[in-house]
Structures are given as C-alpha cells and as structure tokens.
Amino acid sequence: MSDAVCEFVDEKRRLEDRREFGWRTVFYGFLRSRRHDIRRDDDADVVFLDWHHPWLFFLAVGTMLLSCVDAFLTLELIDRGMIEANPFMAGVMGFSTESFAAIKMSLTGFGVLTLVFLAKARFLDRIRIGIFLTTLFAGYACLVCYEIVNLLKLL
C-alpha cells in the first residue's frame, strides 16, 4: 500500500469508536446475537451486549408476569373495598381499569427493558444494575403474596 493509504487507515483506526447504532443493529442483533463478552478494554465500563444471561430473561419475564398478577389482584381487592396506596395509580384508576392496566404494564415494561439493557453497567461504580432487576422481582413477589393474603382474608 502507498504511504497515503496507510496514513488514512491509521487515522481512521485512531478514532475512538467507528461503530454505528441503528434499527438494523437492533433487528440483526435480536435474530443473530454474537457478542457475549467485551471485545476491547475500553468497553469494560458500560457493556451493551447482544446476548444476556438467561437469568436476566427469567427475571424480566417473571417481573412482567408478577406485574400482571399484581394488577389483577389490585382490581379484585379494590372491588372488595380496599384502596390503592399509590397516589399516581389511584389517579389513573379514576379514568378506567383499562387505562390502569395499560399504564401499569407500560411503566413496568419500560423499567424492566431499561434494567436489562443496563444490566452490566454499575451504579455509582459499585453495584451492578442487574441487582436492581433482582430486587424488583423480589419486591413484586412480596407484593403479590401480600395481596393474596389480603384477598383470602376478605373472602
């Protein structure tokens, strides 16, 4: 290669990051994920991988299922005389039960997707974000148990 071509290639390689992110990346990565680990030492800070551990899938799906059960039990408990403790969701319930369920699933889904996407990142350079997804799952499990106990008391 000529010196001009070598200089151009060297200059291009010196750039920090030449990768581009677009919808093609999302769809292609969904269908054929390849990156299971970091490729460069510079990527070690915040890692966005194509492949996530199956445990994250379990936590994400489990959290969404528990959220659905929570919405159903909340509506059942309200029908039996209890009140919604969350003031925002109580305000949403004033419109309709469909809007309550839709907003609840949307907010939970967005939160879960964000936590899965950032699962390898660290909060305050100490705690992996994935632990927040585990905590959210455990919180929903406790909430559903609490609602089942209250529903059994009211029956």
Mean pLDDT over each residue of the chain, to the nearest integer: 77
Q: Are 35 and 108 in contact (CB under 8 A)?
A: no
Q: Could you give the CA distance from residue 24 to residue 11 in angstroms, rounded to a whole number? A: 27
pLDDT tens-digit profile of 34-85? 555 555 555 555 555 555 667 778 888 999 999 999 999 998 998 888 888 8
* Domain definitions of the chain by residue range: 3-154
pLDDT of residue 12: 57
Q: What is the pTM of this model?
A: 0.65
pLDDT-based confidence at residue 1 (cuts at 50, 70, 90): low
- Mean pLDDT, rounded, for 112-120: 80
Least confident of 12-21, 68-77, 85-94: 12-21
Q: Of the ranges 29-33, 97-101, 102-106, 122-126, which is most confident?
A: 102-106
SS3 assignment, position 128: strand
